Structure 1
Amino acid sequence: MYRFLLTPRWWGINVFAVLAIPVCIFMGSWQLSRFEDRVDSHRQQEDRSARAKTAAARPLERLLPVDQVTSGRQASARGHYDTGHQLLVPGRTLKDKHGERQGFYVLTLLRTDGGKALPVVRGWLPGDAGTKADTAKVPAPPKGEVTVTGALQASESQGSDGVPGAGGPAPGRLAMISAASLVNIVPYDVYDAWITLTDTQAPLRAVPPAAAEGSGLDLKAFQNLGYTGEWFVFAGFVVFMWFRLFRRESEAARDAALGIGVEVEAERALGADGDVGPEGSAGADGDVGATGGVGAVSREASGRTESGRDEGSGEGQDEAARAGKA
């Protein structure tokens, strides 16, 4: 009954199932491992951020380039502020006891002793960067040579948290904190990093450091978790379809062994061709049915024969009577 498994059609089905199920399981396990890596990276980043708050500051050059390990570390740099290139970064939110409030960053470039400039976010102010009443509250940066200390951050990109969409900023403003955005604004080289000060001038408020890109439980992490479920569902679907096809094929083979399908097909074939129909009814071509039609013809023929015999015997008796009289 299961000889159909050896047919070329079922060889193809079996090979596909045997290959598809391990592939789906492997891909689901890989996506799950990616999610677990992001969870571990998020925990490690939280631990590093907690240690960085109490750790001693290190020179900026020792922490570059910025990666997931050095992001959030306390860095120090020495130089003087370029008061002619102070910029405002609008559209930034800050969480406090009153919830999330909209405001802007105050960014000033620090000309270091090495010649390059370091973008320094001196703090955050609530309000609109395009309103004179709000921008008038920005304090002037310290004059002379200073040493700044703050959390080291990587340059922002278009997909970074808090960065607005497309659209060029107005003069004196900066949409994205990065060396690529500052290269056309200042006439000197800029570090591919920036720091946010821990100690700020009133009324500025300190900006907390952001987690390194790819180390948090962002949308990509939950996408990995969703893909994990999808691959395992695909594996279960392959098993379900194989079992359904196998069951249907085995039932068809069992019916054929019992002759159920043959009788039904024969009756359908006879009815479709219009030959002998069931129960003496005429077929499609008007022929005589299988039982009643043929019987009627035979009975009619036998009736005619018997009537002929009766007629013949009657004529013989009349002739015998006439001969006796003679």
Structure 2
Amino acid sequence: MYRFLLTPRWWGINVFVLLAIPFCVFMGSWQLSRFEDRMQDQRTADARVASNERQAARPLSELLPVDKATSGRLATATGRYDRQLLVPDRDLDGRKGYYVLTLLRTDAGKALPVVRGWLPGTPDPAKAPAPPSGEVSVAGALQASETPGDNGVSARGGLPAGQTAAISAASLVNLVPYDVYDAWVTLSRADSGMTAVPATAPAGTGLDLKAFQNLGYTGEWFVFAGFVVFMWFRLLRREVEFARDAELGLVPEDEPVTADAGAR
């Protein structure tokens, strides 16, 4: 009854199953390991943020360029506030609002983007407090330049004058006539009634959308493996039923033994 397993057709099916199942299990395990790595990155980032809050502030020049080790560190800079911009679509504590971003012209000649605070509602220049005049010293958490997709950063264009979607040198250099640091800081204490913006973990770490995509792919690969096993048993059962019918004379003996024939 099981002699059909020795046919070339079933040799091909069996080889495919024997290769497909380990491959699906391997890919599912790899995606799961990626998710676990991101969970570990999140724990490491949380510990680093807590450690950064306890460390003394250092001059901006000593912490550049921004990487995973310096992201979130307290940085200090001195200069004069210049152009002010609003950054829309920034949620804080479950409320919609916007950042008040002011460029600080430092003694080095370049401008440092400084998030002076957060305000609720839609961006309104009239509600954004004017920056202090004269020379100021700022201290805040150092952050890497944003790119669309990082931490919910919008990629939409066509914003009104005086707004920017991303806090990055690439975006700001088109709005101001001077060089901008490839980094920004969020003040530890917000100015003039605004809410301070907490530091965030570097992009690519923690439980972001990509992490949960890895978890979803893990389930998909294991489902694929189960589906391959299910289909193999289904084909086997159909072949057995057809072979049994042939032995009982319910089908012509010269009709080839195929699953398609057994389905008829």
Q: Do the two structures share a fold, i.e. TM-score over 0.5?
A: yes
1:42 is matched with 42
Residue matched to 1:81: 80
SS in structure 2 of the partner of residue 93 of structure 1: coil
Query: What's the secondary structure of 1:50's corresponding residue?
Result: helix
Q: Which runs of 5+ in 2 are unaligned?
A: 254-264
- 1:150 counterpart = 2:149: no
Please report how far the alpha carbon of residue 255 of structure 1 lies from its aligned counterpart in structure 2 after TM superposition.
Answer: 4.7
| More off after superposition, 21-30 vs 148-157 | 148-157
Q: For the residues of structure 1 that align with 2:174 and 2:119, how far apart are their CA atoms?
A: 26
Compute the displacement of 1:265 (Å): 3.4
Report the counterpart of residue 252 of structure 2 in structure 1.
265
2:141 is the alignment partner of 1:141: no
Distance 1:20 1:150, change over 3 A: same
Cα distance in 1 for partners of 2:96, 2:243 equals 72
Map of 2:109 onto structure 1? 115
1:16-49, Cα deviation, whole Å (9 max, x unpaired):
1111111101110011011111111111111111
1:247–1:140: structure 2 CA closer, same or farther, 3 Å change rule?
closer
Contact preservation (8 Å) 1:168, 1:175:
no
Q: Deviations over 1:2-26 (max 9, x none)?
A: 3222211111111111111111011
Contact 1:68 1:215 in 2 (8 A): no
Deviation at 1:142, TM superposition (A): 4.2
Letter in 2 for 1:94: L
Distance 2:240 2:70 in 1: 64
AA matched with 1:158: P
Match of 1:206 in 2: 196
- Decide whether the 8 Å contact of 2:114 with 2:185 is kept in 1: yes
Within 2, Cα distance between the matches of 1:240 and 1:126?
Answer: 54
The worse-fitting range, judged by mean Cα deviation, of 100-109 and 187-196 is 100-109
Q: Secondary structure at the match of 1:119?
A: strand
Q: What are the equivalent positions in structure 2 for 1:1-326 lying under 5 Å apart? A: 1-78=1-78, 80-83=79-82, 85-95=83-93, 100-130=94-124, 132=126, 134-135=127-128, 138-144=129-135, 146-256=136-246, 259-261=247-249, 265=252
Q: Give me the CA root mean square deviation.
A: 2.2
**Distance of 1:218 and 1:140 partners within structure 2:** 34
1:311 alignment counterpart: none
Equivalent residues of 2:151, 2:203 under 8 A apart: no
User: 1:92 aligns to what SS in structure 2?
Assistant: coil
- 1:295 paired residue number: none
- How far residue 103 of structure 1 moved from its aligned partner, in angstroms, is 3.1
User: Do the aligned residues in 2 keep the contact of 1:60 with 1:77 (CA within 8 Å)?
Assistant: yes
Check whether the contact 2:245–2:251 (CA below 8 A) recurs between aligned residues: no
Deviations 1:278-326 (A, max 9, x none): xxxxxxxxxxxxxxxxxxxxxxxxxxxxxxxxxxxxxxxxxxxxxxxxx
Instruction: Say if 1:264 and 1:181 are closer, same or farther in 2 by CA, change over 3 A.
Output: closer
Question: Do the aligned partners of 1:29 and 1:228 also contact (CA within 8 Å) in 2?
Answer: yes
**Conserved 8 A contact 2:102-2:131:** no
1-structure distance, mates of 2:121, 2:88? 9
What is the rounded CA distance, in whole Å, between the counterparts of 1:158 and 1:71 in structure 2?
18
Equivalent position SS for 2:252: helix
Cα distance in 2 between the residues matched to 1:181 and 1:37: 31
Q: In 2 relative to 1, CA 128–260 (structure 1 residues): closer, same or farther, beyond 3 Å?
A: closer
Question: What CA deviation, in whole Å up to 9, does each residue of 1:102-128 have, x standing for no partner?
Answer: 333222212223222111111123344
- What's the TM-score, normalizing by structure 2? 0.86
Q: Letter of the 1:82 partner, please give it.
A: Y
Distance 2:11 2:108 in 1: 71
SS, match of residue 108 in structure 1:
strand
Report the alpha carbon displacement of residue 169 of structure 1 after superposing the two structures with TM. 2.5
1:125 partner amino acid? L
Tell me how far apart the structure 1 counterparts of residues 106 and 218 of structure 2 sit (CA, whole Å).
Answer: 48
Larger helix percent: 1
Report how far residue 165 of structure 1 moved: 4.8
